[in-house]
Amino acid sequence: MLDVIIVGGGLAGLINSILLSRAGLRVCLMEKGSYPFHRVCGEYISNEVKPFLRKHDLYPAELTPSEISKFQLSAISGKKIHTNLDLGGFGISRHNFDLFLARKAKESGVDLMENTKVSDVIWQDGYFEVQAANQQYQSKLVIGAFGKRSQLDARLQRAFMANRSPYIGIKYHIKTDFAKDVIALHNFKDGYCGLSSVGGDVFNLCYLSHRDNLKSRNVEEMEEDVLFNNPHLKAIWANSDFLFDKPLVINEISFEKKKAVENHILMSGDSAGMITPLCGNGMAMAIRSASLLSRLIIDRWNKGEIDRSALEAAYQQIWDYEFSLRLWSGRQFQRLFGSPILSEMAVGLMSNSWLRNRLIGLSHGREFE
């Protein structure tokens, strides 16, 4: 009987595993992939998480992240604005950061099982039975950190899975002539594309598109027919070296509301709720959610037998307090993007310094340790 099984080894899963294992719990983390690997991700992290990462020896200084302090936004027409990011952030490749955290997890005593796909999680008689790789494992707690959309979501019959999502995400790493301290967001019809440095000479180019843009086209044709209507995007493609053999693609990205607790499984990171990428804060939210959840577990563990109902209620409450406004704001912001008229309006709104600071502030959290 393990204390905790964590399903999924992204940022939320890895950081939960590290903190819980350091606190003395017997932790097993199951990840279907093998580190290192790339993920479809914006690869920008708000500086709100820096004090926490540094306090727990988890800030990847050795990977020399890019320091990002400026923001650029363009409408489909190419009209754009530049502004400073008061809090700022850093850019880092998930390929490298996840590997860094996986090594920290092993050093902290986590039983890290790679190439292990979890097929089912069953709650029975006050404990969990986790089925993975034709084996069965038992634990007192399970944390779900399996990302944006998973077969486990379907097995658990989570409500958001009933609605098909129209969004696809596509990512490249490129070398290009662009400022390393700027994160850019460029609109195109029914979508938007982010560009930012992830350290060294490499930039992350990641975009979200409505799947209708892909109808009767392949990805390259969609980019030429749709994205290139924004002159900034056309210039990026024309003047960059693309480092992947082919783009990374993820389908049916859902931004619908999710519950932080499902069938007694404590959800963390994107599994509990996903902010729209244009806000650039999904990675920071994943880190923050892991901090909140692990602290709740450790506090109750140290007091003796865990009151499961109280733990679940406390976690749902603190999740809602920390993230519900940010998630709601992200869904509202998204309406201003991907439309010729509304993207022009968004650029106009961001030209007003008060509105700009207010909008950016709604998508960012406060610093924490």
Tens digit of each residue's pLDDT (9 = 90 or more) over 120-168: 999 998 899 999 988 999 999 999 999 888 888 888 888 888 888 888 9
User: What phi and psi values does residue 41 have, to the nearest 5 degrees?
Assistant: -165, 150
Percent of the chain with pLDDT over 90: 69
Model pLDDT, residue 147:
81
Summary mean pLDDT of the chain: 91
Give this prediction's pTM: 0.93
Average pLDDT over residues 305-321: 92
State residue 161's pLDDT score.
85
Tokens 């650039």 found at: 280
Cα–Cα distance between 254 and 277 in angstroms, integer? 11
For the segment 210-246, what is each residue's pLDDT rounded down to a tens digit? 999 998 899 999 999 999 999 999 999 999 999 999 9
Q: For the chain, which residues make up each domain, given as ranges?
A: 2-363
Low-confidence winner among 45-49, 300-304, 328-332 (lowest mean pLDDT)? 328-332
Mean pLDDT computed over 54-73? 96
Question: What is the predicted pLDDT for the residue at 278?
Answer: 61
What CATH number was assigned to the domain covering residues 2-363? 3.50.50.60
Q: Is 277 helix (H, G, I), strand (E, B) or coil?
A: helix
Q: Is 368 left (phi over 0), alpha (psi -120 to 50) or beta?
A: beta
Give the pLDDT confidence score for residue 294 in this predicted structure: 97
Query: Is residue 85 scored above 90 in pLDDT?
Result: no
> In DSSP terms, which residues pair with 28 in a beta bridge?
5, 111
Burial class (CB in 10 A: 0-12, 13-18, 19+), 354: exposed
Query: How far is the CA of 153 from the CAs of 1, 8, 26, 52, 351, in angstroms?
Result: 24, 13, 25, 30, 41
Is a pLDDT exceeding 70 seen at residue 15? yes
d(CA 47, CA 51): 8
Check whether 261 has a pLDDT greater than 70: yes
